[in-house]
Amino acid sequence: MSCRLFFDFDQVKLLLNSIRASAVAKVSSSEPVRSSFGSDVGAEIMSRGGDSARAVAGNEEMQVLIPSDKIGDKEEAPLPPPDVVGRGADMFSPAAETEKEEDDVMPYMRERATINESLDHPKYIGPAPFSTFRLLRGQKKGGFFAKLVGGGEEVEAGVFKGCVTLLAPKGSELQRNIETAPANSAIRRIFPVVPTAPIVDVKNVVVRLYVLKGYNMFCEEDSSLYLRVKLGKNVIQDNCKVCKGNNQLEFYQSFELRVELPGVSQLDVSVIEKNVFGFDTVIGSTTLDLEDRWFNEKWRQGNFDGIRNIGKLKRNPVEECTLRLPSNRMPQGKISCWLDIMTEKEAAKEPMFDISLVPPAPFEMRLVLWKARNMPSMETVAAGMNDLYLIASLISLSGLDIEKETDIHWRAKNGNGSFNWRMKFNFTLPQKRPRLRISAWDQDIFGSNDAIGECQMPLTKIFKQAWKAYCAKVRPDPLAPAAAKSKDGSAKDAIISSKNIIEYPPKPKKGDPDAVRSSELNDEPAWVKLQRKPGEPGGEVAFQLALMEQQVADARPVGDERKEPNRDPQLPAPDRVRWSLLHPFDMLLDILGPDLYRKLKAAMCVLCCLSIIATILYFVGPLVLGNVLGAIAAKTDPK
């Protein structure tokens, strides 16, 4: 049998740079080269554009991908580690809003990495254990009529898989060059001294496919899409489980199939558009080769190159597979999924993960606004004073919008305000990009209120942490250790334990000087800075929040504002103006403020002085005036 190999031009350049010209000349000549199949193959190296090498044997043309790490001595740079579930910055970091909010909090994502391409790439699992050749048929030449009916086009007739090893003829110069070459040289990797092939044992295995999401589907925005999984004659599809849209599709479906390997190994995953009238349309498909993964030692052991080992479980990472159509070279979208292959004995010990969407759950957030400081004064008459109150709003892109406000601290002076006010927000999780907005206002009796400052705090981290704990409870990880019981075994104490309450600021760790707490919840507030506009400060507010399930909140209720039950933490009466007629001057000082009070005192002093002078003039003035006039009259009277 004669065979011609067409290599990619860039790969030929690497090959020519790594192997001496004499060795290449021997391979390029008509001298027969013995293969591991026992037949003589005449090889001819030619440059040809394209992404893969092609082989022609007789009237059949085959295509094979040549691993790049087999040619040349150039090594690829290590891959950056993927994102790992559980890493992040501060709890209120804005960077948390750009992270994935749904998948990475689920128990099945524990110690599971994520990559943005297929795991079949050689840079992750190395070269494939088998060489794959597509068997194509079709006529190379055709007239006008042949082009009209599709003649001349390549049609795939099947796939040939095997292990091919090129060996140099005995006694040839090429063999002597191979034997004298270093063990790690390029020529020894291409022409091994001893033919190698993976050990293939026929086994019945269980294939589990988990499909999470779909992205950028080439279809209309209101399309109804569903999945179809095909392995040989086994076809699994459910056109009732449809997802609307063309981006961020939430499939969350799992499939289990049983197959004998080696055998039928092409697992086809298709995304299909459901049509009301007519046949359903295939949007795109991707193929996962089970044999190339099952018989790959790196894949079996979970040692993937470029992916950091994030745990002892060595779970297969989530990969993104591109959907394509035979009639179109453009990508038709992507799906994120992961694939598990195991023996029947292993499958009996490890149940399948339940990756279906967890229904929304009720939660309660308790926000305490303690006090304010450094608030700019909005009063024009009484400088340094504000009729201060605060507004807290819980908003999200999921439509959540809850607004609550405190009472008014009348005549708050020196930029300080005291509230000790509790707010309870009831909502459901998950929420998309939740935020807490706190704003300070000055109350005006006449006219509109004045805005003092505002801030928005991302709550993605703390909400994700609460949702992750809830999902771990309702969808436990079968391989996770069992949860520890409460000390006294009380179910109620286990419900209201601080482990089920996520709070900010967090509790100090054991061993810290501030670790002793009189209450179960942390009572130390945190300060957040407000802004009037970018770069202009708008004061600071001390706050504290706690997030818990509604079940936990019902087990230990608290009152709104400062009502009973007043606990967790206890809110004392605020330090404000005391209206007492027994201390009128102190009351005036609190009402008017120091500046206006000082001016009022000066005005009262002046008024008192003028009153005294007027009184003196009123009573003493006529007597003095009478005496003066009498004296004048006496001088003028001659008698």
Give the tens place of pLDDT for each residue, 189-202: 666 665 555 566 77
Across the range 358-373, mean pLDDT stands at 94
The string over 162-176, giving b where at least 16 C-beta atoms fall within 10 Å of a residue's C-beta and e elsewhere, is: eeebbbbeeeeebbe
- pTM equals 0.66
Q: Answer for the pair 517, 501: CB distance below 8 angstroms, yes or no.
A: no
Separation between Cα atoms, residue 267 and residue 282, nearest integer Å: 16
- The pLDDT of residue 55 is 36
Q: Which residues pair with 236 in a beta bridge?
A: 229
- The pLDDT of residue 604 is 82
**For the domain bounded by 361-555, which CATH number is listed?**
2.60.40.150
Give the tens place of pLDDT for each residue, 559-583: 999 999 999 889 999 987 666 666 6
- Degrees to nearest 5, angle at CA 115 with 235 and 109: 75
Element (H, E) at 631: helix 584-636
**For the domain bounded by 203-349, which CATH number is listed?**
2.60.40.150
Give the tens place of pLDDT for each residue, 238-275: 888 888 887 888 899 999 999 998 888 899 999 999 98
153 φ/ψ angles, rounded to the nearest 5 degrees = -85, 150
Separation between Cα atoms, residue 301 and residue 293, nearest integer Å: 11
Separation between Cα atoms, residue 483 and residue 481, nearest integer Å: 6
Separation between Cα atoms, residue 21 and residue 576, nearest integer Å: 93
Give the tens place of pLDDT for each residue, 461-504: 889 889 988 988 888 877 666 554 444 444 444 455 556 888 88
- What is the DSSP track for 176-209? HHHHHS-TTSHHHHHS-SS--------EEEEEEE
Separation between Cα atoms, residue 26 and residue 43, nearest integer Å: 10
Rg (CA), the chain: 41
Taking the CB of residue 596, how many other CB atoms lie within 10 A of it?
Answer: 18
Separation between Cα atoms, residue 210 and residue 354, nearest integer Å: 9
Q: Answer for the pair 232, 192: CB distance below 8 angstroms, yes or no.
A: no
In the chain, what are the domain boundaries?
3-75+130-190, 203-349, 361-555, 577-639
- The pLDDT of residue 27 is 35
Give the tens place of pLDDT for each residue, 152-185: 556 777 778 877 776 777 778 877 887 788 877 7
- The pLDDT of residue 508 is 63
- What is the DSSP track for 433-493? S-EEEEEEEE--SSSPPEEEEEEEEE-HHHHHHHHHHHHHHHS--TTSPPPPPPSS--HHH
| β-pairing verdict for 33-35 and 40-41 | antiparallel
Site of tokens 């190395």: 126
Cis peptide, bond prior to residue 195, ω within 30 of zero: no
> What is residue 551's three-state secondary structure?
helix
Separation between Cα atoms, residue 246 and residue 223, nearest integer Å: 7
Site of tokens 């039928």: 264
Q: What's the half-sphere exposure (Cβ side, CA atoms, 13 Å) at 389?
A: 12
Question: Which pair of tokens denotes residue 227?
Answer: 């999945």
Separation between Cα atoms, residue 303 and residue 308, nearest integer Å: 9
Percent of the chain that is helix, strand, coil (3-state, to 5):
25, 35, 40
Residues 6+ apart with CB under 8 A from 420: 368, 369, 370, 371, 562, 571, 572, 573, 574
Instruction: Give the distance from CA 310 to its chain's centroid.
Output: 17
Separation between Cα atoms, residue 401 and residue 492, nearest integer Å: 32
Handedness of CA 149, 154, 159, 160 (dihedral sign): positive
Q: Does residue 2 surpass a pLDDT of 70? A: no
